[in-house]
Structure 1
Amino acid sequence: MLNIFFSFFLLCGTAAYAQEAVKTAATESQAAPAQQQNKYAPEILQAIKNLTVLAERSAEIPQAKLDALAPEIAVFNHKVKAALGSEILADIARKEKDQDDRIRSAKAKRTLQSFRAALQVYYGDKGGAYPKNPELMVPKEIQAVPEIRLPEHEPSSKIRIIDSKKYDKDYSKAVSDSGGWLYFSSRDSDNYGLLLLDCSHKEAGGAEFFRY
């Protein structure tokens, strides 16, 4: 039985996911009408708790014991996925992506704020001048150009530099959706010193990322 629940645990993902699943399942189990409750819920919840400990302290378990479970885990995972079906698996994948996108979005916006703050420090130190390239702030104002991981993009720390007034009327036209940074370096531009996220995708429930 342990190997079955261990397989289920691995299918769910991390220990943190399992802990959250325990809380959610316990709450739903208490709230649901008796006829709707899973009769195996207590055993499942206890197994998930035990497996959470197993995952967190796996380094203390003899490797031979873990290796012995591997073939059965693979078989059981296949059966579980078949039982869940494509619709449920697709729904789980969508929810995981939504959560990952929210995490990426929040972190990217925090990184943008920090990067802009460093530009202001540079501006003050240089008597009212922004750098021609933000990379020039390394290593004084920043240790390195920060990397961002925007939704629908690979991680990037690349900077696209616009050294002209071409986009003064509408800076959004400069956005190329590279997933990195967009920086306006021309002193003659109305956008001088402006740093943006070079992404035209919309945040869930929000605006396009370049508008932050």
Structure 2
Amino acid sequence: MRRGFIHILSPEGAAAGGSVMKKMKQGFTLIELMIVVAIIGILAAIAIPKFADLINKSKEGATKGALSSVRSAIQVYYGDNEGWFPAAETPLLGSLTLNAKYIGEIPVAKLPGTTHQDVRTVTGVVATTPGDYTTQAIADTGGWAYYAETDVPQTWGNLQVGCTHEDIKGRGSDTLFTPWSTF
């Protein structure tokens, strides 16, 4: 053997007169495991609220995308019907989904961070003073809000989300054209 080198022999070599080092136990100590669990707990405490926020943002984005889809269908209807928006029929905007000519179905309005259920209901918005668009207010019922009054040309044919709560970015109120709008 050369000097300066330690040779570890196998058990077979030990029988031949060599030395055998004891095999060390492998694994983690309790302290190491507790540190790892604490780190995972801290990361989870930071990450879980971020994921919840991302889920709310995706729901809100889906609602605003659906809002744009229905608005597009309303505009195509307007063009096909010589400048007339869908009438105040029952159900509201039923003429859009008739035979799926303009849109297959009214999409669901998902309103995260509010008390509203995810629904596809369309509620009519009416002026408390006939002909005065400044007296129109959205009922905070969820779903969609449609302005079907032909005697109020400033808002006739407009569609919004039927919610007066603020969106995730802090925008929105019960004032005209601000709740959950893509404008």
TM-score range, shorter chain: 0.5 to 0.7
Aligned to 2:124: 161
In structure 2, how many angstroms separate the alpha carbons of the residues matched to 1:127 and 1:110? 26
1:187 pairs with 2:150:
yes
The two structures have a TM-score, normalised by structure 1, of 0.53
In the superposition, relative to structure 1, how do residues 162 and 204 fare at CA in structure 2: closer, same or farther (>3 Å)?
closer
User: Does structure 1 residue 115 correspond to structure 2 residue 115?
Assistant: no
Structure richer in helix, relative to its length: 1
Counterpart-to-counterpart distance in 2, 1:202 and 1:163 = 22
- Describe the shift of the 1:122–1:165 C-alpha distance in structure 2 as closer, same or farther (beyond 3 A): farther
- Asked whether the 8 Å contact 2:138–2:163 carries over to 1, the reply is yes
Same amino acid, percent of matched pairs: 26
Structure 1 gaps, min length 5:
1-38, 45-79
Residue 108 of structure 1 aligns to which amino acid in structure 2? T
Distance (Å, rounded) in 1 between the aligned partners of 2:47 and 2:41: 10
Q: Any conservation in 2 of the 1:158–1:181 contact (CA below 8 Å)? A: yes
TM-score (norm 2): 0.61
Q: CA deviation at 1:163?
A: 4.4
Partner Cα distance (2:48, 2:164) in 1: 23
Deviations 1:26-55 (A, max 9, x none): xxxxxxxxxxxxx88xxx9xxxxxxxxxxx
Q: 1:164 to 1:156 in 2, by over 3 A?
A: same
Aligned to 2:94: 135
Provide the C-alpha distance between the structure 2 equivalents of 1:135 and 1:197, rounded to a whole number of angstroms.
Answer: 17
Contact 1:122 1:141 in 2 (8 A): yes
The structure with more radius of gyration: 2
SS of aligned partner of 2:134? coil
Judged with a 3 Å threshold, the aligned counterparts in structure 2 of structure 1 residues 177 and 163 are, in CA distance, closer, same or farther, namely closer
Q: Provide the rounded CA distance (Å) in 2 between the counterparts of 1:177 and 1:163.
A: 13
Report the residue type matching 1:114 in the other structure: S
Contact 2:125-2:139 within 8 A present in 1 as well: no
Q: Which has the higher contact order (CA 8 A, sep 6+)?
A: 2
**Structure 2 unaligned residues grouped into runs of 5+:** 1-31, 173-178
2:167 paired with 1:203: yes
Tell me which residue corresponds to 2:14. Answer: none
RMSD of equivalent CA atoms? 3.0
Post-superposition CA distance 1:131-169 (Å, at most 9, x none)? 123121112101111112111232110011124464611
SS at match of 1:160: strand
Q: CA deviation at 1:200?
A: 1.6
